[in-house]
């Protein structure tokens, strides 16, 4: 029988899967664009594929080597390492299975433990807990989000999100593929509602009233709607799942249920790893999906370290490489503001992306500091060699923070904004500027203040482990000097925090974060009055606590953390002043009981990272007698007990006073974050653990 002649042209067939799903071995659907490509933000294309037999045996008889004959086609970068490991069981199973040879697609259900897709039938669905508010209300909430939240937490690309949101809010029902987009819109509306509830001047309240919408009730229903679809969203393994979990964890952290905040962020981190967000797509041209991935990953780094500090639990990430942002068309800086800073001072900054990268970098540094202290594995009864290790780690931590601080450009240097009355001049001109320019200048000023708050908070956190140690007469001079240096640096950082105009955070989502930093600073400032009573440092520290209390009082109707800060610091300040007087009147043969010592002026410089050192001789002016040495501020070489003159919280600071500090931190942790009392891993147990 004559052999059938082979076709000279390869016969083509139309595959069931699109190109992207075929390359990644994903379960595709017949609708174009398919569900998976739509959720991933990729273009869905389907090309004709030649039969493999015709490629192996060309009609010419010439041996042609095809790359498809030696293995699977190259996957896209995000699929090449989907679960952040190069040799996952799923990837190995797919290589062994080899769908090209078997002639059919390996679906997720074919491998135990693989990602399954929910609702691939793309059926219509609608909201269960509430009706979607009218378009004008939703647009007002979206506008509010990008003014009050986007500058602080960056997980969205504004132009593309607005385009998607416009489509979602214009219809009462959606396809299954739209689940991620709809849930992200609802999460944005939730954050906005939380920020406008205490703001009675928000123009959108008129819209809510016109449509008979109760803002508080709508907030609860939106949260319930998101929670009812959260598992389906995570099962889809899409970037919207990461965004929704990050926004939801922020809401729970500061305004609702801190216990849920920890768990919800954990889901965001896991989903981020599943999408391989920590690896950058090596494509030549930046794209919106890649930019969104970078923004989400950077905020995962921030949230991971922040939660680790708050809850005293190990970090979740093994990689803290900050991604640089490239597609920043929604983060440009108004030329008017750039003109206010000379070229040599602006450091070439033309985008607000600098703030978000710097913020992620300092949290990456803080995460490294936390890991270094935890590796010491110390107990409360630290030995001399342990104290030496703490001193060394503290110095290394301070160097890491100083390196970060040196990289901050002038545009985001809060101290530079206030130097020589620069901010006062700009603030006067704001009323004459267009609304868009005015809002942008104000938010950049808040960004600079946020970086300053974050930096000073990390400085305090880095020096707390040393301040918590017990000092006795056998402690070496090196450790004593280091403890004194830590107290000086922590006090200076706390004073800088107390001077930041926190009232400008009013009506912004970041007000809770700012209040939290001021609480920590206030507790630190209650140490010097008891350690060094009636001195310059003690007087300045008390003034700092008073500033924080007054600032918190002005925000107590806007933020629950501010209310708690005012209450706890007021109680602690009363105890501190009482103990300061007790210590000042204690028997001291060096002191002159007849000397009337007015309070000296503040000696701690604003903006400096160092305060006046106690090893420097201070003087107190007395009427008619000239200068009389202050025995509590004598130099180190004096015959005073150096431990008493320096500090030593356990020796010079009475145990009951130290217990008051611990109780204040503990009360704040329990009331704000539902932490377990006396949890040895909690950062809010002063004097018991390390950060």
Question: How many other C-beta atoms lie within 10 A of the C-beta of residue 458?
Answer: 26
What phi-psi label fits residue 199: left (phi over 0), alpha (psi between -120 and 50 degrees) or beta? beta
pLDDT number for residue 120: 55
Domain range enclosing 257: 135-311
Q: Which residue intervals of 468-559 are DSSP H helices?
A: 477-499, 511-525, 528-531, 536-554
Query: Which residue positions in the chain have pLDDT lower than 70?
Result: 1-16, 41, 48-121, 283-284, 342-348, 378-382, 587-691
514 and 417 belong to one structural domain: yes
pLDDT number for residue 30: 77
pLDDT number for residue 382: 64
What CA–CA distances, in Å, run from 243 to 264, 478, 624, 658? 11, 48, 68, 42
pLDDT number for residue 48: 67
pLDDT number for residue 186: 97
Closest CA to 426 of 413, 408, 409, 438: 438
Token representation of residue 248: 């939801």
Enter the DSSP assignment of 351. Answer: B
Burial class of 112 by CB neighbour count within 10 A (0 to 12, 13 to 18, 19+): exposed
Cα–Cα distance for residue pair 445/447, rounded to 1 Å? 5
Enter the DSSP assignment of 588. Answer: -
Does residue 326 belong to any structural domain of this protein? Answer: no
pLDDT number for residue 342: 66
Count of domains for the chain? 3
- Helices 511-525 and 560-584 pack at an angle, to 10 degrees, of 10
Cα–Cα distance for residue pair 469/648, rounded to 1 Å? 8
Does residue 603 belong to any structural domain of this protein? Answer: no
Cα–Cα distance for residue pair 537/654, rounded to 1 Å? 19
Does residue 252 belong to any structural domain of this protein? Answer: yes
Token representation of residue 234: 């995570």
pLDDT number for residue 250: 93
467 and 355 belong to one structural domain: yes
Does residue 681 belong to any structural domain of this protein? Answer: no
Question: How many other C-beta atoms lie within 10 A of the C-beta of residue 517?
Answer: 24
Model pLDDT for residues 40-70, shown as the tens digit of each residue: 767 788 876 555 444 444 444 433 333 333 3
Cα–Cα distance for residue pair 163/330, rounded to 1 Å? 13
Token representation of residue 654: 């009475």
pLDDT number for residue 421: 84
Does residue 641 belong to any structural domain of this protein? Answer: yes
447 and 539 belong to one structural domain: yes
Does residue 614 belong to any structural domain of this protein? Answer: no
Q: Are 549 and 664 in contact (CB under 8 A)?
A: no
Does residue 299 belong to any structural domain of this protein? Answer: yes
83 and 209 belong to one structural domain: no
171 and 263 belong to one structural domain: yes
The separation between CA 300 and the C-alpha centre of its own chain, rounded to angstroms, equals 7
Rg (CA), the chain: 30
292 and 439 belong to one structural domain: no
pLDDT number for residue 475: 81
220: three-class secondary structure by DSSP: helix
158 and 243 belong to one structural domain: yes
Model pLDDT for residues 287-322, shown as the tens digit of each residue: 899 999 999 999 999 999 999 888 888 888 887 899
Q: Pseudo-torsion of CA 638, 639, 640, 646, nearest 10°?
A: 40
- Helices 239-255 and 511-525 pack at an angle, to 10 degrees, of 50
pLDDT number for residue 661: 57
307 and 340 belong to one structural domain: no
Residues 6 or more apart whose CB falls under 8 angstroms from that of 281 comprise 76, 77, 78, 287, 290, 293
The separation between CA 537 and the C-alpha centre of its own chain, rounded to angstroms, equals 32
53 and 193 belong to one structural domain: no
305 and 445 belong to one structural domain: no
Q: What is the CATH number of the domain that holds 32?
A: 4.10.240.10
377 and 303 belong to one structural domain: no
496 and 642 belong to one structural domain: yes
Does residue 687 belong to any structural domain of this protein? Answer: no
């Amino acid at each position: 029988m004559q052999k059938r002649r082979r076709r000279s042209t390869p016969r083509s067939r139309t595959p069931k899967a699109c190109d992207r799903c075929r390359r990644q071995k994903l379960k595709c659907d017949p609708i174009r664009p398919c569900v998976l490509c739509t959720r991933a933000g990729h273009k869905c294309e389907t090309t004709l594929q030649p039969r493999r037999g015709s490629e192996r045996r060309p009609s010419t008889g010439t041996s042609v080597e095809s790359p498809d004959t030696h293995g699977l086609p190259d996957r896209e970068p995000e699929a090449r390492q989907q679960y952040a490991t190069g040799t996952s069981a799923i990837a190995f199973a797919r290589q062994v299975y080899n769908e090209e040879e078997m002639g059919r697609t390996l679906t997720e259900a074919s491998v135990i433990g693989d990602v399954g897709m929910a609702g691939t039938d793309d059926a219509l669905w609608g909201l269960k807990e509430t009706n979607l508010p009218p378009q004008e209300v939703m647009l007002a909430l979206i506008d509010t989000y990008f003014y009050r939240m986007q500058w602080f937490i960056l997980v969205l690309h504004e132009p593309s999100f607005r385009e998607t949101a416009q489509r979602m809010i214009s219809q009462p029902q959606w396809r299954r593929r739209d689940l991620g987009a709809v849930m992200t819109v609802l999460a944005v509306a939730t954050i906005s509602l939380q920020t406008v509830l205490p703001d009675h001047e928000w123009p959108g309240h008129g819209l809510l009233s016109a449509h008979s919408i109760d803002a508080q009730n709508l907030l609860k229903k939106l949260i319930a709607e998101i929670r009812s679809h959260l598992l389906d969203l995570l099962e889809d393994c899409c970037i919207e799942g990461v965004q929704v979990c990050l926004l939801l964890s922020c809401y729970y952290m500061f305004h609702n249920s801190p216990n849920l905040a920890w768990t919800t962020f954990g889901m965001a981190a896991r989903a981020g790893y599943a999408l391989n967000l920590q690896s950058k797509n090596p494509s030549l041209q930046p794209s919106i999906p890649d930019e969104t991935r970078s923004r989400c990953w950077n905020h995962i780094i921030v949230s991971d370290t922040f939660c680790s500090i708050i809850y005293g639990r190990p970090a979740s990430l093994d990689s803290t490489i900050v991604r640089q942002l490239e597609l920043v068309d929604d983060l440009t800086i108004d030329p008017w503001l750039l003109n206010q800073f000379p070229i040599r001072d602006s450091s070439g900054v033309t985008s607000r992306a600098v703030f978000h990268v710097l913020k992620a970098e300092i949290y990456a540094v803080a995460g490294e500091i936390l890991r270094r202290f935890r590796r010491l594995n110390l107990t409360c009864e630290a030995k001399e060699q342990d104290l030496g290790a703490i001193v060394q780690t503290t110095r290394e931590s301070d160097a890491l923070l100083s390196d970060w601080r040196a990289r901050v450009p002038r545009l985001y240097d809060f101290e530079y904004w206030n130097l020589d009355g620069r901010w006062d001049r700009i603030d006067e001109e704001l009323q004459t500027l267009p609304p868009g320019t005015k809002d942008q200048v104000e938010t950049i000023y808040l960004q600079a203040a946020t970086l300053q708050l974050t930096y000073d908070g990390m400085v305090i956190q880095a020096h707390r482990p040393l301040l918590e140690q017990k000092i006795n007469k056998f402690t070496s001079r090196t450790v004593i000097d280091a403890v004194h240096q830590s107290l000086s640096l922590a006090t200076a950082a706390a004073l800088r925090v107390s001077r930041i105009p926190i009232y400008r955070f009013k009506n912004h989502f970041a007000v809770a974060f700012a209040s939290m930093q001021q609480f920590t600073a206030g507790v630190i400032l209650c140490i010097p009055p008891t350690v060094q009573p009636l001195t310059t440092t003690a007087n300045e520290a008390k003034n700092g606590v008073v500033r924080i209390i007054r600032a918190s009082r002005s925000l107590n109707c806007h933020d629950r953390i501010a209310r708690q800060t005012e209450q706890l610091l007021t109680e602690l300040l009363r105890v501190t002043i009482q103990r300061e007087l007790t210590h000042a009147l204690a028997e001291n043969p060096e002191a002159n009981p007849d000397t009337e010592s007015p309070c000296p002026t503040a000696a701690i410089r604003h903006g400096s990272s160092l305060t006046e050192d106690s090893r420097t001789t201070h003087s107190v002016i007395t009427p008619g007698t000239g200068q009389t040495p202050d025995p509590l501020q004598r130099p180190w070489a004096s015959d005073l007990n150096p431990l008493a003159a320096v500090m030593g919280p356990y020796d010079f600071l009475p145990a009951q006073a130290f217990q008051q500090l611990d109780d204040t931190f503990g009360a704040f942790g329990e009331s704000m974050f539902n932490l377990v009392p006396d949890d040895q891993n909690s950062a809010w147990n002063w004097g018991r653990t390390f950060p």
